[in-house]
Structure 1
Amino acid sequence: MAPVRIRTVFMLSLLTFSLSLSKLAFSLTENEALLKLKSSFTNAEALDDWDSRSSPCVKRWAGIICFGGLITGLHLSDFGLSGTIDIEALQQLRALRTLSLKNNSFSGQIPAFNKLGALKLLLLSHNKFSGQIPDDFFSSMASLKKVWLSNNDFTGKIPLSLMTLPHLLELHLEGNQFSGHIPTLRKPTTVTSLDLSHNKLEGEIPDSFSKFSNVSFLGNQGLCGKQLDRDCSSMVVESLPQPAAEEKKESAGSEGHTKLAIGIGALVVMGILFIATFTGRRKDKGDDFSILEKRNTR
């Protein structure tokens, strides 16, 4: 039995060692990860100094923030970048905490940034991102403190998971197409900067937003509350369905036809009554003449 056991242990150790080698083969150095990320971009001329022959922290590659020899931030704002964003490459940057892609030309659905669970700052403002964001998208990003998604073309409801981030300080969603009601903010006391203006939000502003001024909510015609000095009860009355213009026109036309019919009916009845009265009078006169005739013949 001993040789069999030894053989089994040896095989298991060999398998474990093989898996470790396989994992190492698929992992990338930070240099390789950054160059892989760069290859997913188009119009990446601003990143020409990203060179495999140098170190991103020593050479200070454009947009790279380092601390203690580790890459902690990618600040690629105003670089004219477009194309895709290689999330798998970003995952190789283990110390990455801040990511800024503001003022570029990225488009399409929001990439899987939720795979970067250690991020504290995510800035995507002034791009061309669109579509809906899943309700639970930010559930795995509990470290986030600053989220800027402003001036894109996001639609659908504001993700509930965004409002439940435990360390949230800044939230900017202005200039999108978000619709529906505003979810309640989990920790309103910690949030210092908020902007939900110029969307398609509706309903009453939750009490958890009471400390923010009207500037945070302007440009949402369906919103009501004390910040906007707009009574929610009047909004309900205004939102009741009103007859369409064509329906009103048809109703008016139908009413006109009814009045015309009543008028014609009244004229017909009056005509009948007049004829009946006139005929009755002639008959009466005829009877009178015949009586006089009879009297004269006598």
Structure 2
Amino acid sequence: MKLFRLLMLCLFFLSAMGQLPSQDILALLEFKKGIKHDPTGYVLSSWNDESIDFDGCPSSWNGVVCNGGNVAAVVLDNLGLSTEADLSVFANLTKLVKLSMSNNSMTGKIPDNIGDFKSLEFLDVSNNLFQVLYQQDLSLDLSRNSFSGSLPVLLTRLNNLIYLNLSSNGFTKRIPRGFDLILGLKVLDLHGNMFDGHLDSEFFLVTNASHVDFSSNMLVSSSPEKLLPGLSESISYLNLSHNQLTGSLISGGELRLFASLNVLDLSYNQLSGDLPGFDFAYELQVLRLRNNRFSGFIPNDLLKGDLYY
């Protein structure tokens, strides 16, 4: 009998410990505090500390997916939620893989600790009312992860962004427009993804970025006839290699695209026609054009010996 009572007492304490709010639960409840209107009751009716599983993860909460006692996904799309959202609380969900809350009426700001979301692979907060306000310059490096899907448009609203590296991931579809509007952006590195669609002529014409790397994607030229209509003088490093670019580097006379470049890599594409003289590219130090379909003569200025190929 004493052994039975001791066993029941142990189970009681284990059960009580299982009900203690975990870090994940506290983070979700903190987010819930900002909800002003939940027209379907999807969140407010189920997110409470009385409905927690034995392992401490609220898998019975609507929109919450658990894995091994941790919150792995929060999916709250298309609910009409009106909330003052503090997305920084989700950084406390150390095993969070997916965060999707698109098509609501959420306000607030995109946190500057978005790089601290250690396990996050999918983020979609599109079609909301978020603002991005920072007092300091922002550098964001999420390279060499397993991110996939479309690139979040919210990244084009990071007004204080100066460095963005999303290389070596699995992003697909088109590169969203708007990076040219980030006046302080100096480095944009998107190489090693699966982006497709046309090069954004507007971005290349007006960007203030000095380092642009879109290599190893599936991008095509801005038009079938020519690579780009023009190039911003701010760009000194341009790598568009290993894409599906077509057209000529010359269109209606020499196209003085590359006058300000130090490095130009257009290798492994489908570019064709004659080569420009490059006599106007006074700063050019590295030029890579191999594995294309160029024809005609090699311009004398490419044989001066002061270029690295």
TM-score by length of 2: 0.49
Percent identity, aligned pairs only? 18
- Counterpart of 2:73 in structure 1 is 73
For 1:126, the equivalent position in structure 2 comes to: 127
Quote the residue 1:50 is aligned against: 47
CA shift in 2, pair 1:221/1:51, >3 Å = farther
Relative to 1, partners in 2 of residues 1:153 and 1:143: Cα closer, same or farther, differing over 3 Å? closer
1:234-253 aligned at under 5 Å gives the runs 234=255
- Could you tell me whether the CA contact under 8 Å between 1:109 and 1:130 is conserved in 2? yes
CA distance in 1, matches of 2:196, 2:139: 19
Q: Separation in 1 of the partners of 2:58 and 2:108?
A: 34
Shift of 1:122: 1.9
CA distance in 1, matches of 2:230, 2:133: 20
Q: 1:194 to 1:131 in 2, by over 3 A?
A: farther
Structure-2 change in CA distance of 1:234 and 1:106 (3 Å): farther
Q: CA deviation at 1:177?
A: 2.7
Query: What is the CA distance between 1:87 and its match in structure 2?
Result: 4.2
Does the 8 Å contact 2:230/2:257 carry over to 1? no
CA-to-aligned-CA distance 1:159-185 (integer Å, 9 cap, x gap): 633334x4x111667555320789564
Show the 5 A alignment for 1:1-298. Answer: 28-44=22-38, 45-48=41-44, 49-55=46-52, 57=57, 60-87=60-87, 89-107=89-107, 109-112=109-112, 113-131=114-132, 136-139=138-141, 143=145, 145-146=147-148, 148-150=151-153, 154=157, 156=159, 160-164=163-167, 166=168, 168-170=169-171, 176-179=177-180, 183=187, 185=189, 187-188=191-192, 191-193=193-195, 200-203=202-205, 208=215, 211-213=218-220, 227=245, 234=255
Whether contact under 8 Å (1:78, 1:103) holds in the other structure is yes
Distance 1:235 1:170, change over 3 A: same
Q: Is the 8 A contact 1:125 1:148 kept in 2?
A: no
The Cα of 1:128 is off from its aligned counterpart by 3.3
CA-based RMSD: 4.5
Task: Please give the alpha-carbon distance, in whole angstroms, between the structure 2 residues aligned to 1:198 and 1:42.
Answer: 39
Between the two proteins, the alignment pairs up a number of residues equal to 203
Q: How many angstroms apart in 2 are the aligned matches of 1:210 and 1:141? A: 15
The higher radius of gyration belongs to 1
1:86-143 Cα offsets, whole Å, 9 max, x none, are 3453233232122122222334542232232332222232333345788754337764
Q: Higher helix share goes to which structure?
A: 1
Q: Which amino acid aligns with 1:116?
A: F
C-alpha distance 209-58 of structure 1, shift in aligned 2 (>3 A): closer
- Residue 229 of structure 1 and its aligned partner are, at CA, apart by 5.3
Letter of the 2:163 partner, please give it. Answer: L
> Structure 1 pair 151/28, CA: closer, same or farther in 2 (3 Å)?
closer
Deviations 1:183-207 (A, max 9, x none): 564642xx12457887951249856
5+ unaligned residues in a row in structure 2: which ranges? 1-20, 223-227, 233-239, 259-309
Q: 1:193 to 1:207 in 2, by over 3 A?
A: closer
Give the unaligned 5+ runs of structure 1: 1-26, 238-298
Distance in 2 between residues matched to 1:197 and 1:156, nearest whole Å: 22
Letter in 2 for 1:61: W
Separation (CA, whole Å) in 2 of partners of 1:221 and 1:43? 48
> How far apart are the structure 1 equivalents of 2:187 and 2:103?
28
- Letter paired with 2:92: Q
Q: TM-score when scaled to structure 1? A: 0.50
Q: Cα distance, 1:39 vs. partner?
A: 0.9
How many Å separate the matches in 2 of 1:236 and 1:187? 21
Is the CA contact (8 Å cut-off) linking 2:198 and 2:220 kept in structure 1?
Answer: no
Structure 2 counterpart SS, 1:117: coil
| Cα shift at 1:72 | 0.9
